[in-house]
Amino acid sequence: MALASAVMDLSHGILFTDLYQLTMAQLYFRQGLAERLARFDHFFRTYPDYGTHQAGYCINAGMGDLLDWVEAVRFGEAELDVLRSYRSVTGGPLFAEDFLSWLGDVGGFDAIALRGVPEGRVVHPDTPITMTEGPLAICQILETPLLNHLNYQTLIATKASRVAEAARGGTVLEFGMRRAAGFGANAATRAALVGGARFSSNVGESARLGYPAKGTHAHSMVQVFLALGGDEIDAFRAYAEVYPDDCLLLVDTIDTLESGVPNAIEVFEELRRRGHRPVGIRLDSGDLAYLAIQAARMLDAAGFDDTTIVLSSNLDELAIWQILAQIEEEAPRYGVDADALMGRLAYGVGTRMATSEGHPSLDGVYKLVAVRDDGAWRPAVKISDSPAKVLNPGAKRLWRVYDERGRATADLMTLQDEEPTPPLTLHHPSLPAVSRFLPAERVSRIEELAVTIREPGRPGDRLGGIEAARARREADLALLDPGVRRLVNPHIYHVSLSPRLWQLKQSMIADATHQGAG
Amino acid sequence: MALASAVMDLSHGILFTDLYQLTMAQLYFRQGLAERLARFDHFFRTYPDYGTHQAGYCINAGMGDLLDWVEAVRFGEAELDVLRSYRSVTGGPLFAEDFLSWLGDVGGFDAIALRGVPEGRVVHPDTPITMTEGPLAICQILETPLLNHLNYQTLIATKASRVAEAARGGTVLEFGMRRAAGFGANAATRAALVGGARFSSNVGESARLGYPAKGTHAHSMVQVFLALGGDEIDAFRAYAEVYPDDCLLLVDTIDTLESGVPNAIEVFEELRRRGHRPVGIRLDSGDLAYLAIQAARMLDAAGFDDTTIVLSSNLDELAIWQILAQIEEEAPRYGVDADALMGRLAYGVGTRMATSEGHPSLDGVYKLVAVRDDGAWRPAVKISDSPAKVLNPGAKRLWRVYDERGRATADLMTLQDEEPTPPLTLHHPSLPAVSRFLPAERVSRIEELAVTIREPGRPGDRLGGIEAARARREADLALLDPGVRRLVNPHIYHVSLSPRLWQLKQSMIADATHQGAG
C-alpha cells in the first residue's frame, strides 16, 4: 500500500523539522560547536487577538505530545539517506559523511534537558515557558518540532478555555475534525481537552489519550430514511431502538420546532413507556437561543425536563456568550427558567475552536539565550528595530507573584541565581522608565512556575497527564483577576523583570549595538 | 518509549473519524442498511473570504493523501477493542459484537468507489468535487477523514495559488511548520506545493513527496558567534566555508543595511576570489521593499547582480502585492531596475499560508445524494431554512463550459445521464428566476471535470502526483478570466444547473416540504 510505515515515519519522525536546522547543525559540527552546551528559551510575544475579542491569558499546552515525539524519533538509516541525497548547487553532497555519521551516533534527543511551565497553567507573553538545554546542534534541530507542538496546542487550549468560560460550566465537546488541519486535528483534540473541553468526537485521538469520544448521529441518517420513503420519526425510532439508553436526537433536518422536536418527544415517550430515559436533543441550525427556549418548553411540557440540549453550529466563545445572554433575557417571557435551561445545555464546538478562528497561530519563538564557553554561560542577545522584540538575555527563572488577596498580580523573570523576596521592584520588560514597587505586605506568595520536565537520557515527566493539566488550569483561573479573564478587551496582566535582569539586558543592548556598528 | 507505534496508529488509523459515524454505522447495520449502496457528494459552499480580500476560485487538493490513508487503514483488533470498550449510559456495551465482527470482516474502505475533480484543478462552490459510492455504513465512516483531508488541503492550495500569483512568477517557498497545526504542517506543505509553492522547508514531508527541502540559516547561528565573542561576519564566513556554493545569508540579525548586507558582500567577495558563486541573501524584518531595493543596489555595485534576494516575515498575497507595487514605484528613484529586482526575488511564506490567515477553514461538506433501493437510485434532499443550503439532489455530473474566447465561463451540473450540448440554458442553483442562455456559437468546448479515481478493491489513481497537479493548476488559471483571479473583490464565476437537474430539485423540495409537514 502507498502509505508504507517507513514513508509515514519520514514525515512524522526526526525529519519533521526545517532544513535550515540541519544545515546549521552541520555548520556547528564543522566549527567544533555541535556539542557545545546551549540554552534556548521558548516564549510567545502576544496574546491571541481575535479581532472583536482578545485573550488576556493563555493556557500552556503541548508538552506531553512533544515528549512523546522527542522520545520516539531517531536518525535511522532512512533519515540519513534522505540527507545523503541532498545536493549542493554544484552537484556534490550537501551533507558530509562525517556529519551524518555523527548524527547517526547521536541518534536523537537523549542529551536534551527540558524545564518548563506545566501544561494547563496560565501563561503570559515574553516569559520563558519552556527552557531547553543541550548540545547546540541538537537544540537547533529541536526548534521546529518544539514550536510546532507548543504553539498550536497553546493556541487551541487558550481558545478552549475561553469557550469553557463562556459556557459557564456547561459541557463543551470538541467537534472540529472535519475542518481542522489534516492530522493536526489530533493536536486540536488534545489541546481542547487540556483547555476546557470535556470530551471530543475524535475516536482515535480520544482513545490514545484514554477518553471515550462522544457523538450520536448526523443529518445523513435522517436523510437515508427520507430517501427510502420513510419519515424523520422513522429515523428517530430506529435510533431509539438501537440506542435506547443513549438516545440523543438531532432535530433540525426538516424543521426544528414543527417536525424535529415533536418527533423526538414522541419517540422519547415510547422510550419512557419501555423504561428507558432519553438523553436529549441537538440543535444545529437557526437561532439557537430561541430554539433552545422553545425546545425546552416543549420537552418540559412532556415531562422531559431532565434531558440535555446540545447546541452546535459555528459556536465560539462570543456566540455562546450571546446565546446565554439572549436566553437570560428571553426565556422568562416564555415561562422557561433561564438558569434551569442553561444548566441543561451542552456545546458542540468545532471549526472555530480547532482553527482558533480570528487568530489562527500563536507567535511563539525559540531563541538562543546562552552558550557555554570556558566553564561559564555566555548570554546571547538579538537586537531588533523594535524594543519589544529585544530578547531578555541569559538563562532565567520565572515566578508568579500573588497579592494580598491571593490573586496572581505579576509574572516575574529573574536571573538563574536569584530568589526574589519582598519587597519587589518589577521592571517593565521593554520600557526603561516603567517599574512598579510591591511592598512586602502586598505580597502573599511567590511561586516558581517552571519545573523539571526531562533530564538528559531519562524519560520525560508527563506531570500527571491531561486530567492534572485540567486541574491546574482550573486552579490558575480561580486565582486570576476577572478583568484578565474578560472575553473582550481584557485587563493587561503584568510581566516584569527583576532589577538585576533588567540591568543585564540594558548593558547587553549597549554592547551588542556597539558590536554591530563596529 | 511512550509513542508506541500501535498507539500512534490508533490516532492516525481508521479511528481518525467522529464517533457518530460509527454509531450511525451500527444503526445502519441493525436496520439491514449497512451494505446498501449510497452516494455522497463532497462540495464546499463558499470561497475563502480573508476579510480585506477574497478568493474567486479554489484549487482542489488533498485526494492523494486521502487515497494513501484510505488504502492503509483497517479495522484491526486494536481498533475493534477501542469500540468494544465503549459503554452505554446503563453500563452495557455500546457496540454489539455482531456489528464489530462485521466491521472486522469489512476491514476497511475496499468497497468504496471515488470519482472526482483532479487535484490542482480550479474548482468552485456548490459543485460536486468528490463523489463517493459504496456501502452506506462505510461511506459514512469515511465522511470525517475525507472532509479533513480535502477541506484543509484545498484551503491551503488556494492560498498558495494566490501567493504565487501575487509573486508574479517569483519562487515561493513554504516555511510554515513552526506555527502550523501539529502534524497538519505536513498537509500544509503538500497543499502549498500543489497550489503554487515551488519548495518547502519541511524536510520529512518533502522527502515523502520526492522533493528536496530548502533553507539555509536562522538568526540563532549569528547569535551563537556573537555570544562567543565573534562578529556577524565570523558567522557568515563560517557559513561560506561550509557551504561555499550554497551560500545564502540572513542579513538582519543586527542591522540589515549597516551590518548584514556589507558583511554578506565582503564574504561574497571572498567566495568569488576562491571561484565560488554566492547564492544570495534573505531579508526577514523591516520594510522589505525598501530594504530589497537598497540591498540590490549594494549587491549590484559589488558585482553580485545575479544573486537571489529572499524575502520573509509575515508574507501573504497582499503583502507581496504591496511590496512589488512599492518596488515598482520606488526602485527607479534609487537607480535600481524594478523588473530586474523583481526577477531576482524569492518569497519565504510561512504562517499566513499554512493557516490561511483571515479564513482558516474551508466549509466543505459531504452529503448523501442518493440511496440504492429496488434496483434504482432514490435521490436524497435536505431542506434548510436557507435556499442556498438546499442540496442539489441525486447523482450528478460536472462540466466546465468554455466560451468563444476559450475561457472558462461556467461550471454546469447535470443529471447522471445527461451530456450537455449547445445551446445551453444555465439555471442559477438557488434563485429560481435566474437563468442564462448560451447560444451554440458562444460555446467553444464542454469538458467533464470528474474522472474515475478509484474502483472498488483497486488502488486509487494518483493522476500523476503533485507535478501533474501543478501543471493542471497552471493550465486552468490560464483559462480563467483575470477578473475571477483578482486578489481583491473578484468577479463571481457562474455555477449552474441544467434544466433537468433544476426541475428535479424543485420537485424534491416540494415533496420534502410536504413530507416534513405531514
pLDDT on residue A505: 85
Interface contact A226-B373, CB threshold 8 A: no
DSSP A236: H
pLDDT higher than 60, residue B254: yes
CA distance B436 to chain A (A): 31
* B31 contacts on A by Cβ (under 8 Å): 238
Interface of A with B in 459-518 (CB under 8 A): 459, 462, 512, 515-518
* Percent over 90 (pLDDT), chain A: 90
Partners of residue B496 on adjacent β-strands = B412
pLDDT on residue A4: 44
Interface contact A181-B177, CB threshold 8 A: no
Task: Examine the predicted complex and report whether its ipTM is higher than 0.85.
Answer: yes
Confidence of residue B261 (pLDDT cuts 50, 70, 90): very high
Average pLDDT rounded to a whole number, residues B154-161: 98
pLDDT on residue B429: 85
pLDDT on residue B2: 36
Query: What's the pTM?
Result: 0.96
pLDDT higher than 50, residue A321: yes
pLDDT on residue A510: 79
Confidence of residue A2 (pLDDT cuts 50, 70, 90): very low
Grid cell digits, residue B18: 467522529
Query: Which among B15, B239, B361 has CB closest to A203?
Result: B15
Half-sphere exposure of B398 (CA within 13 A, CB side): 25
Average pLDDT rounded to a whole number, residues B291-300: 98
Mutate to test the interface with B, among A156, A203, A283, A351 (most CBs of B within 10 A): A203
3-state class percentages of chain A: helix first, strand second, coil last, to nearest 5: 45, 20, 35
Query: Which among B356, B368, B512 has CB closest to A224?
Result: B368
Interface of A with B in 426-465 (CB under 8 A): 459, 462
Asked if the C-beta of A23 comes within 8 angstroms of chain B's C-beta atoms, the answer is yes
Interface of A with B in 138-177 (CB under 8 A): 140, 143-144, 147-149, 151-153, 175, 177
pLDDT higher than 50, residue A384: yes
CA proximity to B48, closest of B361, B475, B466: B361
CA distance B424 to chain A (A): 30
pLDDT on residue A379: 84
Asked if the C-beta of A37 comes within 8 angstroms of chain B's C-beta atoms, the answer is no
Interface of B with A in 267-326 (CB under 8 A): 277, 279, 285-286
CA distance A295 to chain B (A): 17
Residues A126 and A128: their CA atoms lie apart, in Å, by 7
Ranges of beta strands (E only) in A160-213 are: 171-174, 199-200
Asked if the C-beta of B368 comes within 8 angstroms of chain A's C-beta atoms, the answer is yes
Q: Which of the residue ranges A37-41, A130-134, A214-218, B513-517 would you say has the lowest mean pLDDT?
A: B513-517
Interface contact B254-A214, CB threshold 8 A: no
Count of CB atoms within 10 A of residue A2's CB? Answer: 15
Residues B114 and B131: their CA atoms lie apart, in Å, by 6
Interface contact B152-A182, CB threshold 8 A: yes
Nearest CA in chain A to B361: A179
Interface contact A215-B20, CB threshold 8 A: yes
Q: How many cross-chain Cβ pairs, A to B, lie less than 8 Å apart?
A: 428
Query: Which among B15, B351, B512 has CB closest to A361?
Result: B351
What single string gives the DSSP state of each residue in A347-412? Answer: EEE-HHHHTTTT-----EEEEEEEEEETTEEEE-----SSGGGSPPPSSEEEEEEEETTS-EEEEE
pLDDT on residue B379: 84
Query: A164-354 belongs to which CATH class?
Result: alpha beta
CA proximity to A330, closest of A273, A292, A304: A292
Interface contact A361-B361, CB threshold 8 A: no
Confidence of residue A495 (pLDDT cuts 50, 70, 90): very high
Q: Which of the residue ranges A18-22, A197-201, B145-149, B427-431 would you say has the lowest mean pLDDT?
A: B427-431
Cβ neighbours of residue A189 closer than 8 Å, sequence gap 6 or more: A174, A176, A177, A200, A202, A205, A206, A209
Average pLDDT rounded to a whole number, residues A57-72: 97
Query: How does the average pLDDT of chain B come out, rounded?
Result: 94
Question: Edge-to-edge strand order for the sheet containing B365-373?
Answer: B376-379, B365-373, B37-43, B130-135, B113-116, B451-454
Query: How does the average pLDDT of chain A come out, rounded?
Result: 94
Query: Which among A147, A201, A357 has CB closest to B178?
Result: A147
pLDDT higher than 90, residue A429: no
Asked if the C-beta of A15 comes within 8 angstroms of chain B's C-beta atoms, the answer is yes
Residues B501 and B393: their CA atoms lie apart, in Å, by 8
Asked if the C-beta of A239 comes within 8 angstroms of chain B's C-beta atoms, the answer is yes
* A381 contacts on B by Cβ (under 8 Å): 223, 226
Separation of CA B181 from chain center: 15
CA distance B168 to chain A (A): 24
What is the tens place of the pLDDT at every residue in B45-56? 999 999 999 999
What is the tens place of the pLDDT at every residue in B388-425? 566 677 778 999 999 999 999 999 999 989 999 999 99
Grid cell digits, residue B22: 460509527
Asked if the C-beta of A361 comes within 8 angstroms of chain B's C-beta atoms, the answer is yes
Average pLDDT rounded to a whole number, residues A152-178: 98
Nearest CA in chain B to A180: B148
Sketch the domain layout of chain A as residue ranges: 164-354
